Structure formats: C-alpha cells, structure tokens
Amino acid sequence: MTWTNKVLRLFKNNVGFIMFLVGLAFFRTAVADWNRVPSGSMEPTLYDGDWLVVNKIHYGPSLPFANKRLFDYGGPERGDVVTFVPPHTTQLYVKRVVGIPGDHISFAGREIFVNGEKLTSTKVPSDSNADINLEYLDGASHFIQYGEEGNLPKINGAFTVPDDNYFVLGDHRNNSADSRYWGFVESDKIMGKVTHVAFSTSHDRFAERFALEIH
C-alpha cells in the first residue's frame, strides 16, 4: 500500500473525528474561545491561571484562523474586558476598555479623567498587601489594585481617542503594560468580550473557581 493510500484510508476511517476537530477550530477562532491569563496585569479581576470564556461575535464575527474581525456591529463599551492584539505584537492581550472613540483622557497620578469626569473609587479592606479599590465607570463597578511593586507611568497632558480605536488599562494599575505605554487598540484588532472565568488553577482563587462572571 502506497503512502498516499495510507493517508486516504486513515482519513476515511477517521473522517468524523477530523471534521469534529475542524469544526472545533472554526468555533474557537470565529465564535467563542477559551484563553489562559498569562500574567497578573488584570488582578484582582483576573489571575494568572484563570481560563477565560471569550465571546468572539459580541462585537462582530472574527475571521476564522486569524486574529482579525470581519466587520463590526457594535463596539466595546467603557468597562468591557476584552481580548485583542496590541500594535506592538501578535500575541493576544486582555485588558479593560476605559476610553472609546472620541473620549478625552487625562491622568494626574492615580486619578483618571474621562471627558472631564474623574473616575471615582472606594478603598476596599483586604488581607493582602495590595491596595484594592472599587472603581466606578459608567454606572458599573469593578475592582482595581495597586501592588507594592511597580510604578505608574508619567503621562502629561490630555489626549483624544481616535475614531475606530480604544484606550485600555489593566486593573492592576501599576503592573500592567497597556495603552499608557503602547497606545490605542484598533477596532478590528479586538477579538472578543470576556464574559466568564470558565475555571481557574490560580492559587489566588479559593472558593470561586468555576463559571465566574466577569464585570
């Protein structure tokens, strides 16, 4: 039996399984995906070891097998946690959207101003050494933190988010490489909205390890 015949026979005997794998790959690249959080830049919302459920059709369908959206039918809102490809690499990142197209953004130390309004926050008691706060953005709230190590970048002046671009930050504000360092995220580089932690192997999660909704 020739090599070609062996391959054809193998395909014929396993066509169902092969089609399943192709369908699964298509589903992950175009509809929904699960990604592992590789760092602590989104603590205390997400931890290194969390596996995320990403809705890849929330803002528009993705091109299968490529990190690119086909078209938009609704962009991210302030406060959304998204996966995206930043301008300086081809790796997927996960951050929180703070500025949408047309927003005016400025900084003063820890304070962030969006369209002239300061984002307010409330300190939360914690057993950890981190300074944890509940931040309010567009009527919703999420946790942020400032760790013992790391520094806030010095940003001078105000700027406007361009059309079809977004400004993103990590929730671990002094330990995150985000738009403060490498700029805006183009709309078609946003791959999806993070909706849940499917499961977690992080030692920082104790009781809530499965199906945790993300805010």
Closest by CA to 176, choosing from 79, 40, 38, is 40
179: its two tokens: 């738009």
121 within 8 A of 137, measured Cβ to Cβ: no
Enzyme catalytic residues: 41, 95
Judge residue 208's burial from the number of C-beta atoms within 10 Å of its C-beta, 0-12 exposed, 13-18 middle, 19 or more buried.
exposed
Could you tell me the CA-to-CA distances from 59 to 87, 107, 185 in Å, in that order? 19, 28, 14
